Amino acid sequence: MIFNSAAIKQKKLFIALLLLMLIVCSVYALTAGNYAISLKKIGEILLFKFFGRKSDTITKMDEIVFWTIRFPRVLNAMFIGFALSAAGTAYQGCFRNPLVEPFILGASSGAAFGAAVGIVFNTFFLSISASAFIFSLAAVAISYLLARNKNGVPVVALILSGVIVGSIFSAFVSLIKYVSEDTQLREITFWMMGGLYYSTWNDIRLNAPIISAGFFLIWILSWKLNLLSLGDRDAQSLGIHPERYKFIFIVLATLLTSVSVSGAGIIAWIGLMMPHAARLLMGPDNRFVVPVSAILGALYLILCDTAARTITTAEVPVGIITSIAGAPFLLFLLRSNRKELLK
């Protein structure tokens, strides 16, 4: 493969511009809302929190809205957008299928079942998030074990087993909905729509290290993802063990997906759409697709979450916004760049 140094510099510059856009949109998200906070007040609150410099212009409400509610929410949106997009890129590269997304192996259905169990039988579980995380991992593990045979894990069998396991967990969720009380039913339905309204600093402390580690491992190994995208036979001839690295990427992508879903519910389209957008912008090289996809995912989720809490007086679940905005965008990509999209 011949690398054009000028093209690589252009791609790095583009990534830097995307990071700048992410910072600008994050700052806007921190100021936007029914309770507006100026940039000056944000700076004064940060100085107070990090250096102890108290300003007389800061009210208790300013501090609560920015530091306790809005700041962790924007950070959580950023990390979850990173995670879902990176997971989608890893899955699509492993399976050589542009229609694969992070929930293909049943992670979302397993998490929904775990959340429903945690809501209805709350005395037996530490938290709804922990229950959703455990069952999300369990669903993917079951899918993997069902597809495995003595020759490895065929991609088609893995996808089909994911569909089967997802359907079974979805049926269990419907059963729990049927026997649950009205308040529990509303809570289950609301959780499944996806939302960042309960984001706290504890979520950031728990999720950020896992998501950061998973993302950087996928990025470091992205050149091997390039080889897997060539097919098992070509990848093996180039010196890597396809089944071993597929397993590694599936584990990393599943971990990112499970952490994201357990903390924010089911937020669709990001993991399917952003890898496509990144490939159209950067080409097929996953060394650049992985970071660009992650930044685009963070940017997209921050904007959608900001819209979800500002377009009406009552907050709209962000999963609805990502679906409404995502479906037409993917249709546009498909119609305008069909050949590139289906590579």
pTM: 0.91
Domain assignment present for residue 271? The answer is yes
Domain presence at residue 12: no
CATH code of the domain containing 261: 1.10.3470.10
Task: Tell me the pLDDT tens digit for each residue of 141-180.
Answer: 999 999 988 877 888 899 999 999 999 999 999 999 999 9
The structure tokens listed for 273 are 């759409």
How much is the pLDDT for 300? 95
Judged by DSSP in three states, 155 sits in helix
Residue 110 structure tokens: 């397993």
How long a stretch of residues is the chain? 343
CA distance 147 to 157: 5
Mean pLDDT across 250-260: 95
Q: With beta carbons less than 8 A apart as the criterion, state whether 193 and 217 touch.
A: no
Considering only 38-42, 119-123, 143-147, 262-266, which range has the smallest mean pLDDT? 119-123
Q: What is the pLDDT of residues 69-93, one digit of tens each?
A: 999 999 999 999 999 999 999 999 9
Share the mean pLDDT of the chain. 89
Higher pLDDT, 125 or 237: 237
Question: Could you tell me if residue 238 is inside a domain?
Answer: yes
Mean pLDDT of 87-101: 89
Which one has a higher pLDDT value, 307 or 235? 307
Does 148 fall in a domain? yes
Q: Which two tokens stand for residue 149?
A: 């045979």
User: What pLDDT score was predicted for residue 56?
Assistant: 77
Query: pLDDT grade, residue 5 (50/70/90)?
Result: confident
Write phi, then psi, for 289 (nearest 5 degrees). -65, -40
- What is the mean predicted confidence (pLDDT) over 129-144? 94
Q: What is the mean pLDDT of residues 129-136?
A: 93
Residue 34 has pLDDT above 70, yes or no: yes
Q: Three-class SS of residue 154?
A: coil
Q: Is residue 89, in this structure, part of any structural domain at all?
A: yes
pLDDT exceeds cutoff 60 at 267? yes
Could you tell me the CA-to-CA distances from 117 to 111, 142, 272 in Å, in that order?
10, 18, 28
CA 119 to chain centre: 23
Domain count, the chain: 1
- How confident is the model over 7-21, as pLDDT tens digits? 888 899 999 999 999
Q: Which domain holds residue 327?
A: 37-341
Residue 297's pLDDT band (cuts 50, 70, 90): very high
Lowest mean pLDDT among 47-61, 245-259, 284-298: 47-61
What whole-number distance in Å separates Cα of residue 340 and Cα of residue 201?
41
- Residue 152 DSSP SS3: strand
Is 73 within a domain? yes
Q: What is the pLDDT of residue 338?
A: 56
- Quick one: which of 162, 276, 252, 262 has its CA closest to 207? 262
Tens of pLDDT, residues 105-129: 999 999 999 999 999 987 676 688 9
Q: Residue 129 half-sphere exposure, CB side, CA atoms within 13 Å?
A: 16
Task: Report d(CA 187, CA 112) in Å as an integer.
Answer: 11
pLDDT tens by residue, 190-216: 999 999 988 999 999 999 999 999 999
Chain centroid to Cα 46, Å, comes to: 27
pLDDT band at 326 (very low <50, low <70, confident <90, very high): confident
State the average pLDDT over residues 127-137.
92
To which residue do tokens 């580690």 refer?
213
